[in-house]
Amino acid sequence: MTETGGAVVNGSLRLLLIGPPGAGKGTQAARLSEAYSIPAISTGDIFRENVKNGTALGVKAKAFMDAGQYVPDELTNDLVRDRLSQPDVADGFLLDGYPRTLQQVEELDDILGVDGAALDAVVVLTADTDEVVRRLLKRSAEQGRSDDTEDVIRKRLEVYTEQTAPLVDVYSGRGLVVDVDGLGEIDEVTGRIIAALASR
């Protein structure tokens, strides 16, 4: 059991974090990982690490990422299947930015089905377009990430609307969605997520 600011949750928590680019997924994933003592697995971070190290996967992923496109499902699915076979996920995990396509949802169902492990909740972080563009341009100025230019940000938002937003309906149909407003101070958003999960 983990204490999270008054709320107590079962130690084995399996969460997904969905939201448009810039909604604060990576930011909140790090905090939730600490609050619930579960590993946060970000496919975006894994791809960036591979790009940095010049691996075969990184070379393939870079072109898609720089264009604001999703990395093909077959590459992404293999990576997640491998990561979810590691022993540290036995007591729960948080997937940040996966699944992002309907095909990835099917793959995740298959991966979790093998282990008989179901999801506990899907946190959907919302933020309006103006705010996410503002945040990502600020990050671009600070960190120079190659996919944070204005054109690529707009492309990423389009791809999210076309390919990832439909996933919210799929998980709503399963009664798993927890909608959280991603606007406001970072601590405030973390508090909202923890409170929403505790009240489920």
Query: Which residues in this chain contact ligand B4P in the complex, by CB under 6 A?
Result: 21-27, 42-44, 47, 64-65, 70-71, 76, 97-98, 100, 104, 135-136, 139, 147, 156, 184, 186, 189
Residue 14 annotated among the catalytic residues of the structure: no
Of the pair 4, 101, the CB lying nearest ligand B4P is at 101
- Which of the residues 60, 81, 145, 155 is marked catalytic? 145
The Cα–Cα gap between 79 and 114 comes to 16
Of the pair 33, 76, the CB lying nearest ligand B4P is at 76
The distance of closest approach from Cβ of residue 186 to ligand B4P in the complex, given in angstroms and rounded to an integer, is 4
The distance of closest approach from Cβ of residue 121 to ligand B4P in the complex, given in angstroms and rounded to an integer, is 18
DSSP labels for the chain?
-EEETTEEE-S-EEEEEE--TTSSHHHHHHHHHHHHT--EEEHHHHHHHHHHHT-HHHHHHHHHHHTTPPPPHHHHHHHHHHHTTSGGGTTEEEEES---SHHHHHHHHHHHHHHTPPP-EEEEEE--HHHHHHHHHHHHHHH--TT-SHHHHHHHHHHIIIIIHHHHHHHHHTT-EEEEE--S-HHHHHHHHHHHHHT-
- Which of the residues 14, 31, 83, 156 is marked catalytic? 156
Residue 139 annotated among the catalytic residues of the structure: yes
Of the pair 58, 117, the CB lying nearest ligand B4P is at 58
The distance of closest approach from Cβ of residue 112 to ligand B4P in the complex, given in angstroms and rounded to an integer, is 15
Residue 100 annotated among the catalytic residues of the structure: yes
Of the pair 70, 93, the CB lying nearest ligand B4P is at 70
The distance of closest approach from Cβ of residue 189 to ligand B4P in the complex, given in angstroms and rounded to an integer, is 5
Residue 31 annotated among the catalytic residues of the structure: no
The Cα–Cα gap between 24 and 86 comes to 26
- Which of the residues 60, 81, 139, 155 is marked catalytic? 139
- Residue 16 CA, chain-centre distance (Å), reads 6
- Which of the residues 14, 25, 135, 192 is marked catalytic? 25
Catalytic residues: 25, 100, 139, 145, 156
